[in-house]
């Protein structure tokens, strides 16, 4: 249950208050000291760090002018935006609006330009972390080195991203050793997507009965899969054995592999027939569709993606994968070796720090079809099992205003150590949430409304697009400054290893 401490949130129970302070750096930075009011660190703390795009997934951090440092582990970040062609255009893009909130960049949003990705953080702040390991915490620094173990982004998607999967740690090491150009690191990449506007995506394999239905009602799909593979799959799908079995997974792999091994000539010959069927049948497409996806929805997806990608095999992969829609606040967690594609919408995306992607469709980029077919787990499940439901976050205290207005703090806690995400929604003016210190770093972004962010006596304005880094052991306070019927919404990604709330939930 939420803890309510009366009109104002009282001091939270502090953790790690007796942790040893880190030594100052050899560069002459001030030695880090323990804050008596937070248990945090002080010294060499810029209030407004700068991030500039270097490569598409790498940002460069630079210090603000001399004399602008304060003594609190609360750092305002400025983030670059990537203009990939799949992004939403102009101010329809949340990534563009958020990036434009950086006053020093003076981004002028162009109505006809796509804005795809607001890079909140990546391999960033390295100079600061190398000199101030206490900002990360001893446990995080020991495990992941002098860098954040997660990437945190805002994606604004107008055109579908590639059908892809991310390798597990062992496979990532093998791929990187074999082909460092296309697989630039040796890390795994589990990821989570949280909708901030209505979102569409493809995620995981459908229940076998749904795939069998499409094999029976979409002739062009069946021809590419191959008759022998289709019949073997249909027999496996009718097997009365409960649950996921190895035989069923093998039949699924053979059917999917048959499709993915189709020649480009065969795919190009079948796509006009598929598109014609979708356009002519409309709501009756594929005999009305399946329980999770109506025929008219599948027909619209086929025609839309054909308009975006032409004769791409991804149009047939649609029939194997769950089609998912998310409303704001709903989430997906994608484990390593899990096939997926983002189709449209604005999302918060958090993932382990890696750039490894194995692609197989809906893309002009490098495709590694054989690796993708071999690496997938071939688990299958209804789409509801692919979603991640948030839970109440127990380490925040709401004041009376927040409690009475129905404000909420929710935790998205995937089964990995690299990251978790907290969404804070404060309704009405003066709603306040006080967060117990974390033994690890955080990045927090405002996606709506405005308010105030504070660590100790230091406060900063926070509104849509503002991003802050919060150092380890800092007690964080958020307070809304909105109208009675308005909301101040933030998302905070964090990592905590030892003695963490993730282990105590």
Cα separation of 285 and 277, whole Å? Answer: 7
| Gap between the Cα atoms of 77 and 128, Å rounded | 13
Which is higher by pLDDT, 109 or 57? 109
Helices 264-281 and 295-309: crossing angle in degrees, nearest 10, is: 130
**Buried-exposed string 39-61: b where 16+ CB fall within 10 A, e elsewhere:** bbbbbbbbbbbbbebeeebebeb
227-238 vs 208-217: helix axis angle to the nearest 10? 140
Q: Which two tokens stand for residue 233?
A: 């799959």
- With beta carbons less than 8 A apart as the criterion, state whether 336 and 189 touch: yes
In whole numbers, what is the pLDDT of the chain averaged over residues? 82
pLDDT over 70 percentage in the chain: 81
| Burial zone of 131 (CB within 10 Å; 0-12 exposed, 13-18 middle, 19+ buried) | buried
Angle value at C-alpha 344, between 317 and 278, nearest 5 degrees: 45
Tokens, residue 332: 């997906």
pLDDT of residue 48: 39
The domains of the chain are located at: 1-80+390-505, 163-388
396 neighbors 407 (Cβ within 8 angstroms): no
Q: How far is residue 152 CA from its own chain's centroid?
A: 7
pLDDT for res 104 = 54
Residue 303 has pLDDT above 80, yes or no: yes
Where is pLDDT greater, at 58 or 387? 387
Mean pLDDT of 301-317: 97
What is the reported pLDDT for 124? 52
Q: DSSP strand E in 41-198: where? A: 41-42, 45-46, 50-55, 58-62, 69-70, 74-77, 81-82, 88-89, 114-115, 117-121, 150-157, 163-165, 191-195
Cα–Cα distance measured from residue 330 to residue 15, given in angstroms and rounded to the nearest whole number: 30
**pLDDT higher than threshold 60 for residue 57:** no
pLDDT of res. 367: 85
The yes-or-no verdict on residue 2 having pLDDT over 90 is: no
pLDDT number for residue 47: 37
Mean pLDDT across 150-161: 94
User: Which pLDDT score, from 0 to 100, does residue 144 have?
Assistant: 86
Segment 205-222 mean pLDDT: 97
Above 50 in pLDDT, residue 195? yes
Which range has the worst mean pLDDT, 43-57, 84-98, 204-218?
A: 43-57
- Residues with a catalytic annotation lie at 359
- Residue 180: the pLDDT is 82
pLDDT at 504: 39
The shares of helix, strand and coil residues in the chain, as percent rounded to the nearest 5, are 30, 30, 40
Question: Cβ(278)–Cβ(315) under 8 Å?
Answer: no
Q: Is pLDDT at 232 greater than 90 in this prediction?
A: yes
Distance CA 106, CA 91 (A): 15
Q: Which of the four pLDDT bands, split at 50, 70 and 90, describes residue 72?
A: low
Q: Which helix (H) or strand (E) holds 435?
A: strand 432-435
Q: Tell me what pLDDT residue 396 has.
A: 97
Inter-CA distances, 222 with 60, 217, 262, 344, 461, Å:
49, 9, 12, 28, 58
**Per-residue pLDDT at 37:** 30
Nearest to residue 295, comparing CAs of 273, 278, 315, 276?
Answer: 278
Q: For residue 221, what are its two tokens?
A: 């799909």
Residue 246 has pLDDT above 60, yes or no: yes
Per-residue confidence (pLDDT) for residue 21, from 0 to 100: 31
Whether residue 479 has pLDDT greater than 60: yes
> Which residues 6+ apart lie within 8 Å of 53 measured at CB?
59, 60, 80, 82, 119
CA 387 to each of CA 165, 408, 412: distance values in angstroms, whole numbers, following the listed order: 17, 20, 11
| Residue of 165, 193, 169 whose CA lies nearest to 321 | 165
**Cβ atoms within 10 A of the Cβ of 373, count?**
20
- Cβ neighbours of residue 79 closer than 8 Å, sequence gap 6 or more: 51, 59, 98, 99, 102, 118, 119, 120, 121, 467
pLDDT at 61 over 70: no
Question: How big is the CA angle at 310 (ends 307 and 312), to the nearest 5 degrees?
Answer: 125
Percent of the chain predicted with pLDDT > 90: 60
| 407: pLDDT strictly greater than 80 | yes
- pLDDT tier, 129 (very low <50, low <70, confident <90, very high otherwise): confident
Beta carbons of 160 and 344 less than 8 angstroms apart: yes
Q: Does domain 1-80+390-505 have CATH number 2.60.120.10?
A: yes
Question: Do the beta carbons of residue 390 and residue 332 sit within 8 Å?
Answer: no
Alpha carbon distance, N-terminus to C-terminus of the chain: 13
pLDDT score at 18: 33
Tokens describing residue 193? 């997507």
The CATH number of domain 163-388 is 1.10.10.10 = no
């Amino acid at each position: 249950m939420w803890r309510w401490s009366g009109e104002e949130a009282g001091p939270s129970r502090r953790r790690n208050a007796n942790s040893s302070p880190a030594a100052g750096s050899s560069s002459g930075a001030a030695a880090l000291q323990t804050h008596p009011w937070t248990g945090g660190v002080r010294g060499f703390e810029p209030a407004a760090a700068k991030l500039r795009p270097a490569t598409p997934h790498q940002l460069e951090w630079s210090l603000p002018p001399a004399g602008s440092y304060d003594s609190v582990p609360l750092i305002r970040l400025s983030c670059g935006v990537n203009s990939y062609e799949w992004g939403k255009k102009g101010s329809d893009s949340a990534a563009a609006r958020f990036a434009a909130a950086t006053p020093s960049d003076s981004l002028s949003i162009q109505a006809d330009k796509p804005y795809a990705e607001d890079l909140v953080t990546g391999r960033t702040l390295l100079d600061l972390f190398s000199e101030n390991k206490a900002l990360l915490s001893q446990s995080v620094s020991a495990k992941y080195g002098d860098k954040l173990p997660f990437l945190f982004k805002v994606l604004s998607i107008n055109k579908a991203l590639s059908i892809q999967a991310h390798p597990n740690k062992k496979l990532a090491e093998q791929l990187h050793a074999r082909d460092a150009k296309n697989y630039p690191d040796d890390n795994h990449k589990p990821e989570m997507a949280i909708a901030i506007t209505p979102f569409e995506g493809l995620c995981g394999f459908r229940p076998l009965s749904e795939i069998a239905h499409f094999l029976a009602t979409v002739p062009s799909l069946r021809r590419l899969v191959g008759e022998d593979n289709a019949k073997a799959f249909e027999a496996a799908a009718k097997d009365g054995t409960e649950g996921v079995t190895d035989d069923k997974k093998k039949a699924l792999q053979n059917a999917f592999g048959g499709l993915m091994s189709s020649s480009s000539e065969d795919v190009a010959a079948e796509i006009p027939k598929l598109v014609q069927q979708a356009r002519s049948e409309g709501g009756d497409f594929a005999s009305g569709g399946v329980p999770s996806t109506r025929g008219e929805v599948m027909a619209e997806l086929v025609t839309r993606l054909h308009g975006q990608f032409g004769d791409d095999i991804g149009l047939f992969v649609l029939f194997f994968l769950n089609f998912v829609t998310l409303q704001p606040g709903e989430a997906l967690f994608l484990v390593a070796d899990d096939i997926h594609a983002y189709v449209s919408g604005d999302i918060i995306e958090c993932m382990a720090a890696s750039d490894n992607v194995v692609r197989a469709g809906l893309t002009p980029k490098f495709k590694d079809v054989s690796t993708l077919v071999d690496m997938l787990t071939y688990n299958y499940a209804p789409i509801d099992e692919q979603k991640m439901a948030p839970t109440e976050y127990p380490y925040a205290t709401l004041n009376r205003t927040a409690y009475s207005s129905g404000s909420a703090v929710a935790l998205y806690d995937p089964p990995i150590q690299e990251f978790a995400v907290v969404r804070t929604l404060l309704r009405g003016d003066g709603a306040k949430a006080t967060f117990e210190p974390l033994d690890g770093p955080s990045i927090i972004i405002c996606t709506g409304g405005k308010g105030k962010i504070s660590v100790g006596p230091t406060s900063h304005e926070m509104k849509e697009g503002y991003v802050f880094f919060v150092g380890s052991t800092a007690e964080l306070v958020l307070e809304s400054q909105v109208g009675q019927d308005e909301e101040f919404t933030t998302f905070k990604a964090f990592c905590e290893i030892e003695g963490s709330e993730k282990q105590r939930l």
